Structure 1
């Protein structure tokens, strides 16, 4: 007999500099809604709670990067994992604020034994909350800030998908998606 499924925190990583985009891409409009709103709408049905990491936003809980801003996606993930531990969540499903169309079965694709991430978009990942301390140590030791590199050190599975979610990095990417 198995117990209840652990609660899952959906973490939208939104503290980046948007340097290739030239403006705050989390707030860029696609069909009259911000990219961040699109991501939240895609992720919400797959998780028990949502949070935005790296900024305050509307009515969604805000989480700070850990140990400080400016560490890229790993600092955001560290903040989400710490919050997950403190809030009693079993895992974090992380997504970037610039992937407005997520697969409806993303949780199923990534969940399972241990950590996993999309091979070609590693900021989309499934991270057991117990990885909070290992990630904090990784960042404290000033290791490389590559999500893929850290994920490999904790034995995360790299999952290949037939169709990668669109990722908006430039105004041309947004225009191609209809924005």
Structure 2
């Protein structure tokens, strides 16, 4: 699945950021908004980039599906439906809060299988054929991205460097202290 051709990049950015306390996508790291950083990391690896769960000027934005408030799964479902309508083969997803998405994550998540995900499954390569199974999972009350990945038999990979995920203001403060 690693080739850039017909690969839709999706930044899952519709979360409520309860643990963060404010709009996480707008938080600054080294003067750059987290969402802009995610765009810069993912866009070179895909043929088209979308933002899921929020509006962002000058960007293709896709609503969570079937409705807002379903967490990352709603964003992923919206992305899978969008990509399937556009005849894309897969969605390469990430959250807006991952600071160190590898520049070769599309290649690392390539291969055969239902899906291939990193240790944080918000980072994954999801064939568009999973739109239907994800709809059924959501209809049955499923809300966990981990549980969906397990249900479909997603292959998990471990990246050589641990991912830096910003969930709380303290995570940003630790980064500033280490700099």
Same fold (TM over 0.5): yes
Gaps of 5+ in 2: none
Equivalent position to 2:156, from 155, 158, 162:
158
TM-score (norm 1): 0.92
Gaps of 5+ in 1: none
CA RMSD in angstroms comes to 1.5
Q: Which residue of 2 aligns with 1:176?
A: 174
* C-alpha contact (below 8 Å) 2:116/2:125 kept by paired residues: yes
* C-alpha contact (below 8 Å) 2:4/2:106 kept by paired residues: no
For the residue of structure 1 that corresponds to 2:122, the secondary structure is strand
Mapping for residues 69-84 of structure 1, pairs under 5 Å: 69-84=68-83
* C-alpha contact (below 8 Å) 1:67/1:79 kept by paired residues: yes
Mapping for residues 9-88 of structure 1, pairs under 5 Å: 9-88=8-87
Note the C-alpha offset of 1:162. 2.5
Give me the whole-angstrom Cα distance separating, in 1, the residues matched to 2:124 and 2:72: 11
Note the C-alpha offset of 1:132. 0.6
Note the C-alpha offset of 1:5. 6.8
Give me the whole-angstrom Cα distance separating, in 2, the residues matched to 1:78 and 1:41: 23
Q: How many residues align?
A: 174
* C-alpha contact (below 8 Å) 2:12/2:53 kept by paired residues: yes
Give me the whole-angstrom Cα distance separating, in 2, the residues matched to 1:164 and 1:133: 32
Q: Deviations over 1:32-58 (max 9, x none)?
A: 221000000000111111111000012
